[in-house]
Amino acid sequence: MGLTEEQKEFQKVAFDFAAREMAPHMAEWDEKEVFPVETMRRAALLGFGGIYVHPDVGGSGLSRLDTSIIFEALSTGCASTTAYMSIHNMCAWMVDTFGNEEQRHQFCPSLCSMEKFASYCLTEPGSGSDAASLLTSAKKSGDCYILNGSKAFISGGGDTDIYVVMCRTGGSGPKGISCIVVEKGTPGLSFGKKERKVGWNSQPTRAVIFEDCMVPVTNRLGAEGQGFNIAMSGLNGGRINIASCSLGAAHAAVLLTMDHISVRKQFGEPLAKNQYLQFKLAEMATRLVAARLMVRKAACSLQEGQSDAVALCSMAKLFATDECFAICNQAIQMHGGYGYLKDYAVQQFMRDIRVHQILEGTNEVMRMIVARSLLQD
């Protein structure tokens, strides 16, 4: 898919930022579990804090395709950090899209500048894939909601400022769910221990806990009962974003592999002379391009509001995250023993994108969504 001159320009800006500001620190952020706040704020100065948020509240006003191009490029520098930025962008978009004018102007400018950071709170200890069964409750009391319950696996949890929370204001099922913005420092809001993870170590993950947490009714996005639809709307774009992060990691892994097999010699000549490895490299590049085209097609479909957008987003997330993990895994194999050393970046790309097959809707749920769209009357 050909890019416009403008798209090529901000793709270059993102690639340059990734190479200069992210890649040199990627291993340290992983090893020391650093949440690189100042680096992300520098990215926000380039417009990457609210990429598809409207400009009147500080966003860049770019398209879903533009967003995918940017996240793919940034992920070549650090997939973990870019993945958090993609979640932050999704939250900012949800406020921009479903908030009223007062809410948009209250929350979006500081999110777009990344002066404040956001977390998306849907998953609970007892409801992962079955998100509509969530139990966190919000009982109305005067002009406030009183929240009780907990959220699990929350990216940025404890370190972020704005929590976009799906909670139950009505009966069971999806129609009883509303979306409420909870600000850090609200009495009754607390956090679990920082989780120890295989990858995604440059972003903290904690449980978010509500104990008689009192939030103004004016912090509800949209109408009561609209929360599940808001959550799913966010995730359609989120799935393109997370797939784009996988593309960037696989892109970087292919480049690293090309460099390695060109330099590494066995049996008296560079590994790049070995036809089997040439064919493997060709397959990796082909799968990467196929995945990229699928993600960009889904991004365009979502932007245009086409009827097949949800299915295409699910297909793209399923295909790209599976294929890109396989590419990174193959890259390790082609590095031999070096690929298993933490001195070599290829293993971190593999660890960081493994979770992309699980979150924002598992790839099994993606298959369910695609099958449902095919079989519906």
Catalytic residue numbers, as ranges: 360
Q: 284 with 257: CB under 8 angstroms? A: yes
* Distant-in-sequence, close-in-space partners of 179: CB < 8 Å, separation ≥ 6: 94, 98, 164, 165, 166, 167, 220, 221, 222, 226, 227, 230, 231
Q: 145 with 213: CB under 8 angstroms? A: no
Burial class (CB in 10 A: 0-12, 13-18, 19+), 297: middle
Q: Where are the alpha helices (DSSP H) in the chain?
A: 5-17, 26-32, 37-45, 64-75, 79-98, 101-112, 227-263, 275-303, 309-335, 346-354, 363-375
Q: 222 with 86: CB under 8 angstroms? A: no
Q: Return the closest-CA partner of residue 364 out of 314, 305, 298.
A: 314
Q: What is the largest CA-CA distance in the chain?
A: 79
Q: What Å distances lie between residue 154 and 50, 181, 295, 357, CA to CA?
A: 20, 15, 25, 16
Q: Return the closest-CA partner of residue 349 out of 330, 328, 335, 321.
A: 328
* Distant-in-sequence, close-in-space partners of 286: CB < 8 Å, separation ≥ 6: none
Give the integer Cα–Cα distance in Å for 292 and 312: 13
Give the integer Cα–Cα distance in Å for 79 and 202: 9
